[in-house]
A and B are shown apart, each in its own frame.
Chain A
Amino acid sequence: MSSPKSFSFKSLLARHEAVLVFVILFEVILFQVLGRNFLTERNFSNVFRHSVEIGLLAVAMTPVILTGGIDLSVGSMMGLCAVLFGMMVNALGMDPWVAAALAVACGALGGGINAALITRLNLPPLIVTLGTFSLFRGLAEALTKGAESFSGFPAYFLALGNATVAGLPAQIWVFFAVAAGIWFLVHRTTFGRSFRAIGYAPEGARYAGIPVARNTSLAYVIAGAVAGLAAVILVARLGEARANAGIGYELLAITAVVLGGVSIFGGSGTMFGTILGWIALAILNNGLTRISDYKIMDQTVASVARELSGLLTGLLLLAALAIGASIKTLAVRHARKQPIPTSKPEPATQ
């Protein structure tokens, strides 16, 4: 009797990433045909220069979502860190690099507040980070009295956001370093491996001897620190630090992660998927603005294309969620249909 091929989650994920690569290729071809100046070196670096912050948040959000949690506060954290950074440089006259390091530390501290409330008091991540979402943004607004902004940063600092290093935007190299670091943590260390174990079954992870609270905390601290880093890069790119930095970025980051095939319930997903999800999202947003340069179309149609990107992001997230859930339902149904082997003692995999 040939044993029926059991459903493998790994092959599904491999397929998910393959699908994403095709989606990205499709986008590139579509926008190359419809848009203007899409496949140029300049536009290529623009795509990534303008979405590095979201990419950073997405890679840092991945460990959090792998543990079955969520962090809604990262966008607000960017606002607070941007304001703190601006104050340290402008009001206190600090060296921008020292201030940047302190901003990252502030982010880590904020992530630590989330972590402490979530793991020490066993509170749901959703409501804790919703509270800090409001708190961090509110502090940023209060510190700037709702309107002040900081600018006049030295040119050598602004280079971080605008210069080109070895043919790529300077901040891309920062992204590579962070993404590689988190990839190594998640996929190559036992510590990172525990994120998925915790997300898959927190109780099971605890019985397996994993320090669940400590490891989950680290995911939130990393998310906070990276949000601080993203704030510094955003300030360097825009040349201005305001309280409204990063509004709505948490949603874009979560969208990239979910598009990348990371299960929103925790327990499964890869860093590679998240990065592909982010690239697909970044190209979509950039490509739509390229279409609006397309003069053959009616002017009103062209301006609609530019504004569609937000709506499409929302719809894309909904579609990705619905498809993901349907696949899961089908997989369960498929697994249930398999006959339970009688001769072998090993039970069927679920």
Chain B
Amino acid sequence: MNKYFREITVAAALGLLLLSLAVFAPHFFQFQPFTSRLTSQMPVLVAAIGIALVIMSRQIDISIGSQFSMCAIIAGVTAASGLPLGVSIAAAIGAGALMGALNGVLVAYLGLPSIVVTLATMVTWQEALRLWQQGRLLNLPDGIQWFGLSQPAGQTVVISLAFLLLVGAAFAMKHLSAGRFIYATGSDAEAARLAGIDPKRTTFGVFVLMGALAGLAAVLNLVQSPQVQPNCGDGLELKTIAAAVVGGVAISGGRGTLWGVLLGILLLANVNPALTHFHQPPYWEKAIQGLVILLAVFADGLRSRKAQT
């Protein structure tokens, strides 16, 4: 079977969804709402690149939603205290990398399962944030929204930054040794070790990168509105894991491409607008998301079963 079978299937499903929207609800494609929707998905894309790398190295990180919220608030607070934009961006990314490093130490060097570690850090950051901000909405100073540019220019910056990152990361995964280390660690950590790769360091690095990307995603989200909410990252872990799994990243590690992740995001992101445009109630979004995850793993399971016999 074709190596890119999953990517092609998802692309076909996405094409079908967009085509039916084009026929039945053509105003879906009006330029401005379409661009806005695309821009609003860019933080998810950046975070999903991180989670895809984590899953490819056969780990999971469900604390990214909390990391995202924490980084957004840190960026917001530093910006509100009058520091220049560059400093608050650096603060957000740095804080994310630190939170990722904590996960990384516990998972890579203490050998704890990532699911429980990140479950614990998820709740820790979430509660720390609640204690700190008490759920208050944080108003951002002028000059933050769209990096102080006009809306179309800001949208262009956000979209091109995210896509540059995607292209860079996809290149690195295929052609740089760091990327190959991640695949190798994910498919068989012991074999990777025997081949001279340090799987612990690779895993640690992936978690740090994940945190930094969560910080960057938070910044890309922050610049899209004049306010920031302390719960802005809620549910991000599910969205990104769903996108990665749907896009063909194997949950058992070592397999998948970032292009598949992009397709997964676009497909899942269009579920809710499509429900609205087809005049269906939006309450089904979470159930559909869960169903899509299960379908994707179900397909994986059937394929590996067929491969065994």
Chain A residues in the interface with B (C-beta under 8 A): 70, 117, 121-124, 126-128, 130-139, 141-142, 144-146, 248, 251, 254-255, 258, 264-265, 304, 307-308, 310-311, 313-315, 317-318, 321-322, 325-326, 329
Complex-state Cα separation, A307 to B130, whole angstroms: 8
Q: Provide the residues of chain A in CB contact with B274, threshold 8 Å.
A: none
Bitwise, B27-70 to A at CB < 8 A (1) or not (0) is 00000000000000000000000000000000010100000000
Q: A122-B304, A142-B283 are in contact. Are A135 and B119 (CB under 8 A)?
A: no
Complex-state Cα separation, A142 to B291, whole angstroms: 13
B290's partner among A132, A146, A314 (CB-CB below 8 A) is A132
Q: Provide the residues of chain B in CB contact with A315, threshold 8 Å.
A: 120, 124
Are the C-beta atoms of B116 and A254 separated by less than 8 Å?
Answer: yes
10 pairs of A and B residues whose beta carbons are closest in the complex? A138-B287, A135-B290, A138-B286, A121-B301, A134-B290, A314-B124, A310-B127, A131-B293, A314-B123, A311-B127
Are the C-beta atoms of B123 and A313 separated by less than 8 Å?
Answer: yes
Are the C-beta atoms of B293 and A130 separated by less than 8 Å?
Answer: yes
Bitwise, B118-147 to A at CB < 8 A (1) or not (0) is 011111101110110000000000000000
Tell me whether B192 is interfacial, beta carbon within 8 Å: no
Tell me whether B21 is interfacial, beta carbon within 8 Å: no
Q: Provide the residues of chain B in CB contact with A304, threshold 8 Å.
A: 131
30 of the cross-chain contacts (CB-CB < 8 Å) are: A121-B301, A122-B305, A123-B301, A126-B115, A127-B251, A131-B291, A132-B290, A132-B294, A133-B290, A134-B238, A134-B242, A134-B289, A138-B283, A138-B285, A138-B286, A138-B288, A138-B290, A142-B281, A142-B287, A146-B283, A251-B119, A310-B130, A313-B127, A314-B122, A314-B127, A318-B106, A321-B117, A325-B106, A326-B110, A329-B110
Query: Of residues A131, A145, A248, A315, which shows the largest number of chain B Cβ atoms within 10 Å of its Cβ?
Result: A131
Beyond the given pairs A134-B286, A135-B294, 15 more chain A to chain B contacts, judged by CB atoms under 8 angstroms and listed by A's residue number, are A121-B297, A124-B251, A124-B252, A127-B241, A127-B245, A127-B297, A134-B293, A137-B286, A138-B284, A251-B123, A310-B126, A313-B127, A315-B124, A326-B110, A329-B110
- A125's closest neighbor in chain B, by CB? B115
A131's partner among B121, B128, B130, B290 (CB-CB below 8 A) is B290
Are the C-beta atoms of B290 and A307 separated by less than 8 Å?
Answer: no
Tell me whether B113 is interfacial, beta carbon within 8 Å: yes
- B60's closest neighbor in chain A, by CB? A126
Are the C-beta atoms of A264 and B113 separated by less than 8 Å?
Answer: yes
B7: min CB distance to chain A, Å: 19
- B119's closest neighbor in chain A, by CB? A251
- A304's closest neighbor in chain B, by CB? B131
- B252's closest neighbor in chain A, by CB? A124
Q: A138-B289, A264-B116 are in contact. Are A145 and B283 (CB under 8 A)?
A: yes
Q: Provide the residues of chain A in CB contact with B106, threshold 8 Å.
A: 318, 321-322, 325
Q: A123-B300, A314-B120 are in contact. Are A135 and B251 (CB under 8 A)?
A: no
A58: min CB distance to chain B, Å: 14
Query: Of residues A70, A117, A142, which shows the largest number of chain B Cβ atoms within 10 Å of its Cβ?
Result: A142
Complex-state Cα separation, A292 to B86, whole angstroms: 41
Q: A117-B301, A264-B112 are in contact. Are A141 and B124 (CB under 8 A)?
A: no
Tell me whether B111 is interfacial, beta carbon within 8 Å: yes
Complex-state Cα separation, A133 to B115, whole angstroms: 14
Chain B residues in the interface with A (C-beta under 8 A): 60, 62, 106, 110-113, 115-117, 119-124, 126-128, 130-131, 238, 241-242, 245, 251-252, 281, 283-291, 293-294, 297-298, 300-302, 304-305
Q: Provide the residues of chain A in CB contact with B288, threshold 8 Å.
A: 138
Complex-state Cα separation, A125 to B242, whole angstroms: 15
- A250's closest neighbor in chain B, by CB? B119
B87: min CB distance to chain A, Å: 27
Q: Provide the residues of chain B in CB contact with A136, threshold 8 Å.
A: 290
Are the C-beta atoms of A310 and B123 separated by less than 8 Å?
Answer: yes
Complex-state Cα separation, A139 to B286, whole angstroms: 8
Q: Provide the residues of chain A in CB contact with B130, threshold 8 Å.
A: 307, 310
Are the C-beta atoms of B294 and A318 separated by less than 8 Å?
Answer: no
Complex-state Cα separation, A117 to B301, whole angstroms: 8
B256: min CB distance to chain A, Å: 13
Are the C-beta atoms of A317 and B120 separated by less than 8 Å?
Answer: yes
Q: Provide the residues of chain B in CB contact with A258, threshold 8 Å.
A: 116
Are the C-beta atoms of A141 and B283 separated by less than 8 Å?
Answer: yes
Q: Provide the residues of chain B in CB contact with A127, threshold 8 Å.
A: 241, 245, 251, 293, 297
Q: Provide the residues of chain B in CB contact with A70, threshold 8 Å.
A: 115-116
Complex-state Cα separation, A135 to B295, whole angstroms: 11
Are the C-beta atoms of A322 and B286 separated by less than 8 Å?
Answer: no
Are the C-beta atoms of B281 and A145 separated by less than 8 Å?
Answer: yes
Are the C-beta atoms of B281 and A322 separated by less than 8 Å?
Answer: no
Q: Provide the residues of chain A in CB contact with B287, threshold 8 Å.
A: 134-135, 137-139, 141-142
Are the C-beta atoms of B119 and A317 separated by less than 8 Å?
Answer: yes
Q: Provide the residues of chain B in CB contact with A126, threshold 8 Å.
A: 60, 115, 251
- A122's closest neighbor in chain B, by CB? B301
Complex-state Cα separation, A316 to B226, whole angstroms: 36
Q: Provide the residues of chain A in CB contact with B116, threshold 8 Å.
A: 70, 254, 258, 264, 317, 321
Q: Provide the residues of chain B in CB contact with A311, threshold 8 Å.
A: 124, 127-128, 131
Are the C-beta atoms of A121 and B283 separated by less than 8 Å?
Answer: no
Complex-state Cα separation, A331 to B198, whole angstroms: 24
Complex-state Cα separation, A329 to B294, whole angstroms: 36
Complex-state Cα separation, A110 to B164, whole angstroms: 42
- B300's closest neighbor in chain A, by CB? A123
B128: min CB distance to chain A, Å: 6
Q: Provide the residues of chain A in CB contact with B127, threshold 8 Å.
A: 307, 310-311, 313-314
B127: min CB distance to chain A, Å: 4
- B289's closest neighbor in chain A, by CB? A134
A252: min CB distance to chain B, Å: 9
A113: min CB distance to chain B, Å: 9
B59: min CB distance to chain A, Å: 10
